[in-house]
Structure 1
Amino acid sequence: MDKPKMEPLFPRSLRRGDTIALVVPASPVKRERIELAIQRLEEMGFRIKQYGDLYRKLGYLAGDDVTRAEELMAAFADPEVSAVFPARGGTGITRILDMLDYEVIRQNPKIFAGFSDNTALHLALQSQTGLVTIHSPHPMDGMGAPQGLSDLSARTFWRALLEEEYDSWSGGGYVVPLSNQERELVATVFPGVARGRLVGGNLALIGALMGTPYEIETMGNILLLEDVEERPYRIDRFLSQLKLAGKLEGLAGILLGQFTDCQPVEGKSSLTLDEIFHGYFHDLNIPVVQNFPTGHSRDNATLPLNVQVELDADSRTLRILENPVLVAG
């Protein structure tokens, strides 16, 4: 069952000169990439504050659970910090969700931006505090990549976060800025126009949190799904889980991002992703688009979560209907 909806909690917009916290709540990072990301952020005028040893390794984790949870809480509690950027995804965030003090986070709302394994934190922060969060590239795979953010990734990232991108007198949001060529790659699966709160992220993490206090709320919402390195039969299984849990009932629309390296085993019989999506969504009578440029790909459009959006499957556009950050004015 879906829980009662919490009122959205909006963080303040980001200004040049603000302090950004870097934390490692999931897997270990590559030093050279994080150092490059820090350099590029500082060149843009931001101060960077690191919490703990960003380069720790404990197997596939960036340190023990208690340490990672404490560092994340310290970043949220720090009055100097305006935004919290997890350095990367990977795995391990589900291990710390019950160690966080959500009341402290609620009293100190900040921009939280990430994707992949950080879907677990998006869902936990939304369900426990109402915080509006940002589905976006991480420092390690975005600004820390040798070539930096792609034009699309940079354009959509700063459009969502920077105060200078907003008119102080307007609370009407914006259309996610895709070029005509970028929009041509998006496919209409089922037509229509729908409004609702944008929720979701990585499909595997959404499934992992079912049956927990942090499970996704979908009623009346637009569901964002993306994934990486999952075989089609596993995508099928995750969607079956959502269907059996009633999470596909009452959806307003579905935004399918990138499903990167999700091919079947070579030589083995399989359904295609198109067939799987059609099978689960064809009788929902809601707009569905596919191949939106967000997720595990070079072009990773930043999308605010827990805000009202309008999905137009006919024109293949996503309009953010309310500013995801508070703007002075």
Structure 2
Amino acid sequence: MIHRVKTPLVVSMAVAVTAVSAFCSAAEPQKLVWPKRLSPGDTLMLIAPAGPVERDQVMRFKDHIEQRGYKVKLRDDMFDVEGYLAGSDQRRAEEFNEAFADPEVDGVLAVRGGYGCMRMMPLVDWEGVRKSPKLLLGFSDITALHAGMNKAGVVSFHGPGPASGLGSKEGPTDFTAKYVVRAVEASPAGPYVVEVPESVSKVESFGKGKATGRLVGGNLSLISALEGTPYAIDTKDAILMIEDVNEAPYRIDRMVQQLKLAGKLDHLKGVVLGKFTEDFVREDKLTDDKRFDTTGVLRQYFENLGVPVLVNYPIGHFPQNCTVPLGGEVEVDADAKTLRILAP
């Protein structure tokens, strides 16, 4: 257990924001560095950069990791609660920076999304991330940190945490477990095709042929919120991946339209549409017209885009959650309905 170090924040928010702006002013590199992948015996640090976390889930997650042969670090203030956040912005940023600065830590696992990552991003030492690239795993609100990692020139891993099976009593599904291990562990190395049986998800496609490019994106709400900031994703010649949860179709429409108006759909090589739950809770359905349900809205934007598109892919807020490398090269095949990870 790492004990909290009560150090004053010596850099003001204004200075931090200036440093971030300078860091992010350069274009995102086309070829990103793959961090060292993991092997049993390595040390992993658990972090809570967004919403409050449940102690029982985290400790089960820790036990599962240790049973696989890893050593685990976590701070004793991980379970702090400040409103809808896992402690203050300063606490969460300090935890993130500590994980990347600690020479004993080989990988960093975010234990929950929710909300909060964008609030702490001005306080993150992105130069430290660039100089000491490490594997980061998480999804949902962690999309914001993945965008920062990619901006720092480092491939980052969109995948599950304790709240999505890895910390449950039942454990993750076989599919989720297989592909988180395949993505983040060092052996076996090299490219691989993700095999998706229909029992996991019935993958469909728009368009034809294959496309290769950097995989970018993550949670649609976060991607759209990052537009206009130094962390906005670079989609030129990329494969865009998006997913979301509990969003009404018109909200999905508005967020994708924002990306379109920003030119983020203009120069894509391909698209992976992950899971979009239709059990949204914030508004009632505004229409029964199938063209404007979730599937219909996505079809409007992506069916005639002229690039290969995978649809209903098992990524996101779904028990079957495939881990993928944001910033890493992938191949989308619309004819075979497959995703190939071009891992080194």
Is 1:269–2:287 an aligned residue pair?
yes
Partner residue of 1:259 out of 265, 276, 282: 276
8 A contact 1:89–1:116 mirrored in 2? yes
Mean Cα displacement is larger for which, 62-71 or 277-286?
277-286
Share of identical aligned residues, percent? 43
> Which amino acid in 2 is paired with 1:206?
I
Query: Which whole-Å CA distance do the structure 2 matches of 1:241 and 1:103 have between them?
Result: 30
> Which amino acid in 2 is paired with 1:200?
G
Is 1:306–2:323 an aligned residue pair?
no
Query: Which whole-Å CA distance do the structure 2 matches of 1:188 and 1:244 have between them?
Result: 24
Mean Cα displacement is larger for which, 98-107 or 210-219?
98-107
Partner residue of 1:161 out of 155, 180, 184: 184
Partner residue of 1:285 out of 300, 306, 312: 306
For residues 113-145 of structure 1, what are the alpha-carbon distances to aligned partners after superposition, in whole Å with 9 as ceiling and x for unaligned? 000000000011111x11101010013332101
Query: Which whole-Å CA distance do the structure 2 matches of 1:50 and 1:252 have between them?
Result: 40
Matches within 5 A, 1:96-245: 96-127=120-151, 129-166=152-189, 172-179=190-197, 181-182=199-200, 185-245=202-262
> Which amino acid in 1 is paired with 2:336?
S
Matches within 5 A, 1:42-53: 42-53=66-77
| Equivalenced residues, count | 315
Aligned to 2:110: 86
Aligned to 2:88: 64
Aligned to 1:77: 101
Query: Which whole-Å CA distance do the structure 1 matches of 2:277 and 2:302 have between them?
Result: 20
How far the C-alpha of 1:79 sits from its partner, in A, is 0.5
How far the C-alpha of 1:154 sits from its partner, in A, is 0.4
Partner residue of 2:51 out of 9, 12, 27: 27
Query: Which whole-Å CA distance do the structure 2 matches of 1:296 and 1:3 have between them?
Result: 32
How far the C-alpha of 1:198 sits from its partner, in A, is 0.5
Query: Which whole-Å CA distance do the structure 1 matches of 2:92 and 2:247 have between them?
Result: 27
8 A contact 2:165–2:172 mirrored in 1? yes
Mean Cα displacement is larger for which, 157-166 or 117-126?
157-166
Query: Which whole-Å CA distance do the structure 2 matches of 1:282 and 1:179 have between them?
Result: 23
Query: Which whole-Å CA distance do the structure 2 matches of 1:60 and 1:148 have between them?
Result: 26
Please state whether the residue corresponding to 2:230 is helix, strand or coil.
Answer: coil
Aligned to 1:169: none
> Which amino acid in 2 is paired with 1:5?
E
Give the unaligned 5+ runs of structure 1. 167-171, 324-329
Q: 1:299 to 1:269 in 2, by over 3 A?
A: same
Please state whether the residue corresponding to 1:256 is helix, strand or coil.
Answer: strand
8 A contact 1:133–1:304 mirrored in 2? yes
How far the C-alpha of 1:177 sits from its partner, in A, is 3.5
Please state whether the residue corresponding to 1:81 is helix, strand or coil.
Answer: coil
Q: 1:298 to 1:180 in 2, by over 3 A?
A: closer
Query: Which whole-Å CA distance do the structure 2 matches of 1:139 and 1:62 have between them?
Result: 15
8 A contact 1:188–1:316 mirrored in 2? yes
Query: Which whole-Å CA distance do the structure 1 matches of 2:286 and 2:258 have between them?
Result: 24
Please state whether the residue corresponding to 2:36 is helix, strand or coil.
Answer: coil
8 A contact 2:51–2:85 mirrored in 1? yes
TM-score norm. by structure 2 comes to 0.88
> Which amino acid in 1 is paired with 2:335?
D
Mean Cα displacement is larger for which, 255-264 or 236-245?
255-264
How far the C-alpha of 1:3 sits from its partner, in A, is 6.3
How far the C-alpha of 1:304 sits from its partner, in A, is 1.1
Q: 1:215 to 1:186 in 2, by over 3 A?
A: same
For residues 247-273 of structure 1, what are the alpha-carbon distances to aligned partners after superposition, in whole Å with 9 as ceiling and x for unaligned? 000101110000024558556315112
For residues 136-157 of structure 1, what are the alpha-carbon distances to aligned partners after superposition, in whole Å with 9 as ceiling and x for unaligned? 0013332101211110000000
Mean Cα displacement is larger for which, 189-198 or 33-42?
189-198
How far the C-alpha of 1:274 sits from its partner, in A, is 2.3
For residues 27-82 of structure 1, what are the alpha-carbon distances to aligned partners after superposition, in whole Å with 9 as ceiling and x for unaligned? 01111111111111111111000024221111100000011101100000000001
> Which amino acid in 2 is paired with 1:188?
S
Q: 1:283 to 1:189 in 2, by over 3 A?
A: closer
8 A contact 1:119–1:202 mirrored in 2? yes
> Which amino acid in 1 is paired with 2:232?
E
The answer to which structure, 1 or 2, has the higher relative contact order (CA under 8 A, 6+ apart) is 1
| RMSD value, Cα | 1.7
TM-score norm. by structure 1 comes to 0.92
